[in-house]
Structure 1
Amino acid sequence: MKPLISLALASALSLSLSSLAQAADVTAAIGQSGDSEMVYRLGLQSNFESRWWASDTGHLSGYWDLGYTYWQGGSTASNHSVSLAPVFVYEFAGNTLRPYIEAGIGVALFSSTELDKNRLGSSFQFEDRLGFGVRFSGQEIGLRALHYSNAGIKQPNDGVEAYTLHYRTSF
């Protein structure tokens, strides 16, 4: 089962890398886990080409997010994760400042199944995210909550959360 999951994730990553390479934004984030350990994240984003439900209020769009997260260890060794997620964004209309809310569900691979007091059960995890912020001049700043869990595929399934402040810029 583990080789099958790894193969599926590698295929998804390779397909997504081609779209990410076309016009990638970069995000840097810093925050804390639910157990107050520091979390550092770097990501590449590629916007969807489509917009839906455009109105005077705003529109729905999204992006692919490929991220690397460093989980600074406290009582246990540090951990690393790589994730890939489609993220849907509702961006409110505005001239210079455009508030937004976002949500997404993706997959992640952790380097270890232990993260401080949490036992993840498997290296494979699902990534759920909720966030909000403001976009301006090709940049954004926002807050994000990320939850990782293997959805009960393997026990134990303690899961882990991260709460981050992020900055995104376009190149």
Structure 2
Amino acid sequence: MKRRKNLAAGLLAGLALLGSSAGLADLYLDAGMTSESAAAARIELDTRPELEFLPSALSLRLATGLLLLQGREGNHNAAWLATPALRWTFGEQRGVFVEGGIGMALFLESRHESRELGSAFQFQDRLALGGPLGPGEVALSLTHYSNGGIRSPNQGFEVLAMGYRLPL
């Protein structure tokens, strides 16, 4: 339990330091449910580097953060995330968008609810659809976690979530 608290405190402190430099990153928060019907929450900082060789409708987003998973009977789990994604924006710069990416997650435990993940390292496949709302944007995302067959068993799980990205 102490290891979990130390990891969470360290990650949140790192996120706070990274986000303290105005304009470097956006804050992204989401909440949802896993395929095991457990509550899930994610907090990330993400940035969009300027890449002139990409078409104006296509952009790259780089994010890092923390995934928190509620478990029954106190068997909660958490993961550090590294989430790159390509985003296609329809219409204007702040229009409706579709986003997809393959990242990685490093979990505290290699088990979540009834799923045996096989390893703490998991790939993270994410698809999202969203658009502008107020100063930020809202998105509905589906994320799949799996070790990609690196180690058995490979009983991945999904998270369906609604999130909000707020410019810092």
Which residue of structure 2 lines up, in the alignment, with residue 139 of structure 1?
A: 136
Structure 1 segment 1-171 matched on structure 2, within 5 A? 23-50=24-51, 52-54=54-56, 59-74=57-72, 77-94=75-92, 98-136=95-133, 138-171=135-168
TM-score (norm 1): 0.81
Aligned to 1:11: none
CA contact (8 A) 1:76 1:115 kept: no
Number of aligned residue pairs: give it: 151
Asked if the contact 1:98–1:136 (Cα under 8 Å) also holds between the matched residues in 2, the reply is no
Gaps of 5+ in 2: 1-16
User: Which is further off, 97-106 or 119-128?
Assistant: 97-106
How far residue 162 of structure 1 moved from its aligned partner, in angstroms, is 0.4
The separation in 2 between residues aligned to 1:33 and 1:136, in whole angstroms, is 25
Alpha-carbon separation, structure 2, partners of 1:83 and 1:36: 21
Letter of the structure 2 residue corresponding to residue 34 of structure 1: S
- The unaligned stretches of length 5 or more in structure 1 are 1-16
CA distance in 2, matches of 1:72, 1:60: 35
User: Structure 2 CA distance, aligned partners of 1:137 and 1:98?
Assistant: 12
Deviations 1:64-97 (A, max 9, x none): 01020110002560000111021100011238x6
Cα-Cα RMSD = 2.3
The share of aligned pairs that are identical, in percent, is 32
Paired residues of 1:76 and 1:116 also in contact (CA < 8 A): no
* TM-score normalised over the length of structure 2: 0.82
After TM superposition, give the deviation of residue 43 of structure 1 in Å. Answer: 0.5
